[in-house]
Chain A
Amino acid sequence: MAKILIKGGRVISPAQQLDDTCDVLIEKGKIAAIGKDLDAQGAEIIDADGKIVTPGLVDIHVHLRDPGLEYKEDIASGTLSAVTGGFTSIACMPNTNPVNDNLSVTNYILNKVKEEGHCRVFPIASISKGLQGESMTEMGELKGLGVYGVSDDGKPVSNAQLMRRAMEYAKPFGITIVTHAEDLELVGSGVMNEGPVSTELGLKGIPCVAEDAATAREIMLAEFTGAHLHVAHVSTKGSIDLVRQAKKRGVNVTCEATPHHFTLTDEAVRGYNTNAKMNPPLRSAEDREAVRKGIADGTVDAIATDHAPHHIDEKNVEFNIAMNGIVGLETALPLSLQLVEDGLIDLPKAVALLTCGPAAALGIPAGQLEEGGVADVTVIDPELEWTVDAQKLVSKSKNTPFDGWKMNGAALCTIVGGKIAYRR
């Protein structure tokens, strides 16, 4: 394996409290050295002058759609989309067909990643068998394969008793419970955030209390059981407040926010734009502000995309019947850097939210940059201007609300295990 020297970049690794202009030498898939004026003999040189060098980015909320829904995305296309966006480690959700609720589906994913993946993939298994919300999966066995978290994402566990037992069972195995917090009765047949915009458009609303009430229940159960709870895609002021208070009480809880929830509001739905339809829905300006405040004050541990590819035929329909979700892997980095530009957080904080923050939230070995560690590295040009063209996304699906947006910042080079997986 070739030697690579990343020269003269601003190296930021919050986990190592590193923020310095220096070189990074990669050899045999590992970080051989981090320091000034390293010897470049025989190495391929990546000039990182004026650029940022970080641990490979980590996204703990991705729908790879493989197995079963490969017409939307598959492991090859999804992981290529990931490295294009600067990600070297992603966690994929279990709502595939069949559901990832057992050893053989997890093995299928891991084997396919070995054959055709472009980055590391950490499968998240389901909490309940078949996502049916009735009985729990064989989490102990799954942990042995490298499953660090379980989630019934997209189909929340309604049964509080099952959630309690899943937390109690997962805890000694060190498995994180990732919750999609929504009270389905309160969601009803809603298709967008409930508020003045839904009233005006005549679309059924999903009230924020549907998320708040469910988040409250999950936090109470986590507090009661002591299990590690990770709250996925927090979108409301109420949920942010609940997580903040819980952390103060010492509850073992983490949470993530998506770029679309900290960037857009439900105003984006106007014109019945199905690429602004997702679950949880885009919320009010007040909720977006609360999410941003949660990012700034440390309530939010991670930025995660909820990358949810859908075929054009599933979006090019009336709003009511369009599928929920948008792709996000290729736009997450510049949207996160925008938070720095907006003065909300500093650059090392943004890097933390995209590396060690999500890694710690799910408990996966990633998001580090240290001598002797695996060489997962992303070289970022924070200034690079580019315009999103949905049709040119690497993902199989093109369902983005950011089509035509001018972005600042992109991954120039994504290195996975010492190999260049992507170069712009």
Chain B
Amino acid sequence: MSFKHKHILGIEQMSKEDIEIILDTADAFKEINTRDIKKVPTLRGKTIINAFFEASTRTRLSFEIAGKRLSADTVNISGSTSSVVKGETLEDTARNIEAMAPDIIVIRHGHSGAPHYLAERVGCSIVNAGDGAHEHPSQALLDVMTMREHKGRIEGLEVAIIGDITHSRVVRSNIYCLSKMGAKVRLCGPGTMLPPGIEKLGNVKVYTDMQDAIKDVDVIMMLRIQMERQSNIMLPSLREYARFYGLNPTNVKLAKSDAIVMHPGPMNRGVEISSVVADGVQNVILDQVENGVAVRMALLYLVSGVESMQTS
């Protein structure tokens, strides 16, 4: 095994081989989640702190379950209970956490670059669970793992990602991950949500018409439209958004007949995705969630430096 990264800060720093090692490791761990006794001793004695400075349910739960299934001691702190609200700097918070000798800090933070800031200042491993609008590496890895399961390959796939590209860390990590693995990425969203230079991040083509963007693709990934950002004069209404950028039973037919439909969650049913499609035969949305646990087990194991997976 040649995984050399101490931290998981983003997909940008990873090679294709790194990504393959993570996916193969996740494949091997996935089976544990179907057992009666869903626990292996791989990370026994390790302490993992899930430091979530920004609200999250799914990702935090997924990391916590991943750690527990590997027998690590996982502890959660969240933005509302942490010292941040008392005016402590991130560096001081991190130093205090570090003084309690954790092995891994999993961090979710609203500021882009916060995990990189910590990685320069603490000794333990840092795993980025989403930083601002920058990267969300574990999400991209579980997305690609799900695509690989359903399509048997990543090389040559056409993947359309639709929605608020500007504010999405999921998009950036997926662009890096899919481009490195040989897929083609199509991006589409309202003109207010397509940031300059996004096409420079990888094998990317930008579309302004959703019909063109999803025509003959293998994968459609719908992004959550952030309800809370609606005051931001980015959109006239959610109604109009649904009409031009929503996935529905009619336009989904433009993709390949065996195309899969993905969503990182949480979904706004009736806005970016209609319930018929969200619950339809093409959707793999819960597979993504299931694979999320396996991918995060793989990441925690790989950065821990532990020699053996001990899956039995």
Contacts and interface: CB of A to CB of B under 8 A. Distances in A.
Interface of A: 194-205, 271-272, 313, 316-321
Interface string B199-215: 01100000000000000
A196 B113 contact: no
Q: Which among B89, B91, B112, B133 has the highest number of chain A CB atoms within 10 Å? A: B112
B3 interface: no
Interface in B93-114: 109-114
Given A194-B196, A196-B200, A271-B116, A316 B172 contact: no
A323 to B, nearest CB: 13
B112 A199 contact: no
B111 A319 contact: yes
A318 B196 contact: no
B134 interface: yes
B168 to A, nearest CB: 9
Interface string B142-176: 00000000000000000000000010010010000
A204 B133 CA distance: 9
B111 A318 contact: yes
Given A196-B200, A204-B133, A271-B116, 9 more contacts: A199-B201, A202-B132, A202-B169, A202-B172, A203-B112, A316-B91, A317-B90, A320-B111, A321-B111
Interface string B257-273: 00000000000000000
A205 to B, nearest CB: 8
A198 B116 contact: no
Contacts of B195: 198-199, 205
A197 B195 CA distance: 10
Contacts of A272: 112-113, 116-117
A199 B169 CA distance: 10
Interface in B174-205: 195-198, 200-201
Contacts of A321: 111
Nearest to B169: A202
B135 interface: yes
Interface string B122-145: 000000000111110000000000
A200 B132 contact: no
B196 A201 contact: no
A197 B198 CA distance: 9
Contacts of B109: 318
B201 to A, nearest CB: 6
Contacts of B133: 202-204
A199 B197 contact: yes
A201 B172 CA distance: 9
B166 to A, nearest CB: 8
Most chain B Cβ neighbours within 10 Å, of A194, A202, A321: A202
A195 B90 contact: no
Nearest to A199: B195
Contacts of A320: 110-112, 132
B196 A196 contact: yes
Of residues B89, B197, B198, which shows the largest number of chain A Cβ atoms within 10 Å of its Cβ? B197
B172 A200 contact: yes
Nearest to A318: B111
Contacts of A319: 111-113
14 contacts: A197-B197, A198-B195, A198-B196, A199-B166, A200-B172, A202-B112, A202-B172, A203-B112, A203-B113, A203-B134, A272-B117, A317-B91, A319-B113, A320-B132
B88 to A, nearest CB: 11
B201 A318 contact: no
A265 to B, nearest CB: 13
Nearest to B116: A272
Nearest to B110: A320
Given A272-B113, A321-B111, A201 B90 contact: no
A321 B87 CA distance: 13
A202 B197 contact: no
A272 B109 CA distance: 14
Given A199-B195, A200-B172, A203-B132, A318 B200 contact: no
Contact of B197 (A195, A204, A316, A317): A195
A202 B198 contact: no
Nearest to A316: B91
Contacts of B200: 196, 199-200
Contacts of B134: 201-203
Nearest to B197: A196
Contacts of B89: 313, 316-317
A316 B91 CA distance: 8
A200 B111 contact: no
Contact of A200 (B90, B131, B201): B201
A190 to B, nearest CB: 12
A133 B132 CA distance: 32
B197 to A, nearest CB: 3
A114 B286 CA distance: 73
Q: 10 tightest CB-CB pairs across the interface, nearest first?
A: A196-B197, A202-B134, A272-B113, A202-B133, A202-B112, A318-B111, A199-B195, A320-B111, A199-B197, A202-B132
B114 A318 contact: yes
Contacts of A194: 196
B115 to A, nearest CB: 10
Contacts of A205: 195-196
Contacts of B113: 201-203, 272, 318-319
Given A316-B91, A319-B111, A321-B111, A199 B116 contact: no
Nearest to B232: A188
The residue among A200, A271, A320 with the most chain B CB atoms within 10 A of its own CB is: A200
Nearest to B133: A202
A203 B197 CA distance: 13
Interface in B257-308: none
Nearest to B90: A318
A127 to B, nearest CB: 29
Contacts of B111: 318-321
Interface in B72-90: 89-90
A202 B198 CA distance: 10
Nearest to A273: B113
A317 B133 CA distance: 18
B131 A199 contact: no
A198 B196 CA distance: 9
